[in-house]
Amino acid sequence: MEAAVLRNSVPPDRTAPFFGFVWAVVGLAVGVSAVSLLALPGELSRLPLAFWLMAALAVTFDARPFSPHAERRSMSVFPSICFTFAIALEWGPGPAIAVQAAAVLVSGWRMRYAPWRTIFNIAQYACALAAADAVVRLVPGDGFGSTGRLRPLDVLVAIGAAAAWLTVNHGLVASAVRLRFGGRWWTRIRQGLGFELLATGSLLLLAPVLVAAARTSPALVPMMVLPLYAVSRMARLSAEREQLARQDPLTGLANREALLAEVTEQVAVHAELAGKQAPGGQLALLLLDLDRFKHVNDALGHAVGDRLLVEVAARLTTAVRPPDVIARLGGDEFAVLATRLDGVADARRVADRVVGELVDPVPLDGLPLDVGGSIGIALYPEHGADFATLMRHADVAMYDAKHRGDPVAVYAAESDHNSAERLSLLADLRRVLETGADDAGEITLYYQPQIAIATGEVVGVEALLRWRHPRRGMVDPEELIRVAEQSAVMRLLTRRVVDDVVEQLAKWSAAGLELRAAVNVSVRDLHTGEIADQIAERLAQYGVPPSRIQLEMTEGALMADPRRVLATISRLDRIGVAISLDDFGTGYSSMQHLRRLPLAEVKVDRSFVLGMVADADDAAIVRSVIELAGALGLRVVAEGVEDERTWRLLHEAGCEAAQGWFFARPMPAEDLVTWLARYRPVSPATRLGAGGSGPVGAERPGSGARTERNGGPDEQDGDRAARNADPAGTRNGDPTATRNGDGAGQRGERPGQPDRPAGVDAPTTELDVLAAPVDPAAPVTRPGRPAKAEAAARLHPSVE
């Protein structure tokens, strides 16, 4: 949006061609008007009163031109055009050019134009009037209206002259703008053409009426003031309405519509700069969302909240340089359009200035209110080439900043959960769930055994989702759930998993295997209550006892809407379906949930279990959870058991069951049956026997089972994925985060392997194929041997 200094400035790299064009137009104007202007002094004494009235009105009206865009003076309408064009038709170009020059001098002074701009405006009007006069002279006869009355031919001549005037004037202005700011020629020609035809064309076509009035009586000339004033007034009212439509009524800042127009215009300008590799070829869209604003509204009322927004708007205006645009998009959301940047560093400096302005509290009614905000940055052209894309990416970056607790974040594709690639993945997932299309891949379930620590018996399995995509191979489970959980596809996914698991339980039961299967569910499933009806229906259909299926929910899902979640799990409890609280300790739920909810089990999160050996704090947390659950009569399952020491520590702490790579990797249902046939329960209390073999999950010798750590190609990255990709984020982060919030990772394998605590190595080999029981009384290490190597040697003599 133009300021006075901008209207008079020229980019340094365009100075020479622009001013070369300006002085060329001035020279052309002098050439086409010199003869008529030299003859003017001799004609002044013969000019009638009507001329002098028109000249006075032209200068007077131009002292205050009107503009439909109050902040874009380049779009202003000058009523003097009507009078000077009438003078040109009636008395020739010399008097018209002189009066137009006087009017331009007055308007240029009022609008604070630079001298070069005023001179150029006089020259452009002189050329336009000369072109109009040339059309008039083409008509045979003694001149315009030579018979005393205007004939139809005279009207046609006036229209032709007006067309010539518009063509020359608009062409010169568009060329000057093109040389000054860049852009394509045709774009600059089209810019403002409609407005020019309507506004300026109307004034030009009024000129023949003014000529007719002057010929009838000079007294009729001043009567044109009222119609012109009415037109001017209506234009001003229209401009004010348009301005209000483009302005936020509370803060006076630009609104979304105005920001859209400005971004569209600036993208075109910066595209030209970028094409020429000129400096300042980037722009940035900054999206600001205030923190804790809802608290102010709730505690102090909307009136105070409105005053706070006005103060924030004032501070933003101070922080941002004049060429840039500040807009309020609604509520407590603001946007800043920063132009002529040279990279991310420049954009961050703008954001830092904004953050700095919001550091100090805002005093309202004697109460200092702390105002902070999160800012997301999207740059043109790296992050988008249009308003919609830049806005969406800035929004993604803003929420990324909020999630990380940082004041500023720049858009990163990996933070965008709604990218085109993920939308395509979501569409494929919907197709494979609805139609089973072969070209969309195959959905299968893997099962990981859960082992009773005290006896070594398999007490159940956890169902884990797998999707083999035809182009991407095995899709990472974390990404799969992140794609689905925010859409209606999650409901389809839940139905598919429940159906497959209950059907599989029926098959196992028919084969003599009585297993309990655990299924992860998301917050969406628990909100609707539909899952209770579906499970009851499927259990009855396949004749499976309710005790054979267990649902796992996270603390984040519980906290999202406790009332609706409690209603759903209470129905499931009445059916006889057990409920397990998954990833316990990583969210924000209070202890009262363990007391109030109909829970049967809690699962200790693997981020604590993995560190038990090396981290005393993690071990203390696990023991505390086990003691608390035991006091409440709840079963405890530990996830992520990957070595013998952890297995023993869990047994000493009284943990009932565990799962992890120490026992078995996730496997398809068919492989699980084979694994169970070879499995021999072994407890931590089993003593080493002569020539014996294997502690946990032992298989009979000669079974030929694979011992590779990473499994076959079907496993890929998903089998080793951990449910919590970032231990810091899961233990201290937002409960609405990926796994611990709305069920990210639910029904999928653990999505990413967390960093192990210092000193905890990865298991040496696959431990679901072991040989001999381990003597718990035997020392864990022998002198001079690392603990991990000693444990591996005792479990797998072949590794030596």
* Tens-digit pLDDT profile for residues 552-567: 987 766 665 677 788 8
**Rounded to whole angstroms, how far apart are CA atoms 341 and 350?**
10
Per-residue model confidence (pLDDT) at position 131: 93
Backbone angles phi, psi at 667, to 5 degrees: -150, 155
Token pair belonging to 737: 């985060």
What is the SS3 string spanning 646-680?
HHHHHHHHCCCEECCCCCCCCEEHHHHHHHHHHEE
Tens digit of each residue's pLDDT (9 = 90 or more) over 304-334: 889 999 999 999 998 888 778 999 998 889 9
Tens digit of each residue's pLDDT (9 = 90 or more) over 51-82: 999 999 889 888 766 554 444 444 567 888 89
CB 750 within 8 A of CB 740: no
Tens digit of each residue's pLDDT (9 = 90 or more) over 662-678: 999 999 999 999 999 99
Per-residue model confidence (pLDDT) at position 108: 86
Per-residue model confidence (pLDDT) at position 782: 34
| Alpha-helical regions (H) of 695-761 | 727-732
pTM of structure: 0.49
Instruction: Say how many Å lie between the first and final Cα of the chain, rounded.
Output: 76
Q: Which of 462-466, 499-503, 523-527, 600-604 has the lowest mean pLDDT?
A: 523-527
Q: Cα torsion at 480, 486, 489, 490 (round to 10°)? A: 80
User: In a 3-state reduction of DSSP, which class is residue 342?
Assistant: coil
Token pair belonging to 534: 């579906």
Per-residue model confidence (pLDDT) at position 561: 64
Per-residue model confidence (pLDDT) at position 353: 92
Q: Any bridge partners for residue 551, and if so which?
A: 519, 579
Per-residue model confidence (pLDDT) at position 498: 93
Per-residue model confidence (pLDDT) at position 44: 87
**pLDDT beyond 90 at 756:** no
**Rounded to whole angstroms, how far apart are CA atoms 470 and 459?**
35
Per-residue model confidence (pLDDT) at position 431: 85
User: In a 3-state reduction of DSSP, which class is residue 363?
Assistant: strand
Residue with tokens 């852009």: 183
Tens digit of each residue's pLDDT (9 = 90 or more) over 534-587: 999 999 999 999 999 999 987 766 665 677 788 888 899 999 999 998 877 665
Q: Which of 157-161, 236-240, 262-266, 715-719 has the lowest mean pLDDT?
A: 715-719
> Which residues, 6+ apart, have CB-to-CB distance to 517 below 8 Å?
447, 460, 461, 462, 463, 501, 504, 505, 548, 549, 550
Per-residue model confidence (pLDDT) at position 280: 81
**pLDDT beyond 90 at 457:** yes
Residue with tokens 């379906």: 577
**Rounded to whole angstroms, how far apart are CA atoms 596 and 490?**
28
Question: What share of the chain in percent tops pLDDT 90?
Answer: 30
**Rounded to whole angstroms, how far apart are CA atoms 406 and 401?**
5
Consecutive H or E run containing 792: helix 787-795
**Rounded to whole angstroms, how far apart are CA atoms 417 and 395?**
12
